[in-house]
Amino acid sequence: MSNELPQSVLFCCDHNAVRSPMAEGIMKKLYGTGTYVQSAGVTNDMEIDGFSIAVCQEMDVELSRHRSRSFDEMENWGDDLGSFDLVIALSPASQRRALDLTRFYHLEVEYWPILDPTGLGESREAKLVSYRQARDQIKERLLDRFGPPTEMI
């Protein structure tokens, strides 16, 4: 894996409500604005998840203003998938969709099997533990892939 930061990265998951917004926010926090970072989902049928907002806030990553969007909405708004250097899929469904949408482009699609914390845990605290696990997996993968943070955290 290369430690060099790409010029643009798209994170994707199923709904753009939990994992991909966390990855987008954490990457921006760790590596600043030198890389264009966005996120999308296979569908856009959910708002940003409150537990994602809470666990990212613990590391000073702001997600409350995030607006979920789908691959289709990206295209409708003029975001060309071919303009991204790297697509990182965080769920099997998003990996399939990304590979399908990028089959005519020369760009890299990576799959990171990140825990889906939705539906895990009975109590609020147990749910937060699951969301923290997903957040920490994302942060660890980012550090493994792109090296030490370039921004102060």
| Domain locations along the chain | 8-146
Return the pLDDT at 4.
82
Between residues 105 and 22, the one the model is more confident about: 22
Return the pLDDT at 151.
73
Q: Which band of pLDDT confidence, cut at 50, 70 and 90, is reported for residue 61? A: very high
Strand-by-strand arrangement of the 8-13 sheet: 36-41, 8-13, 86-89, 108-111
Tokens 């537990």 map to which residue? Answer: 51
Evaluate whether the domain defined by 8-146 bears CATH number 3.40.50.1820.
Answer: no
Contact call for residues 49 and 128 (beta carbons, < 8 A): no
Return the pLDDT at 83.
81
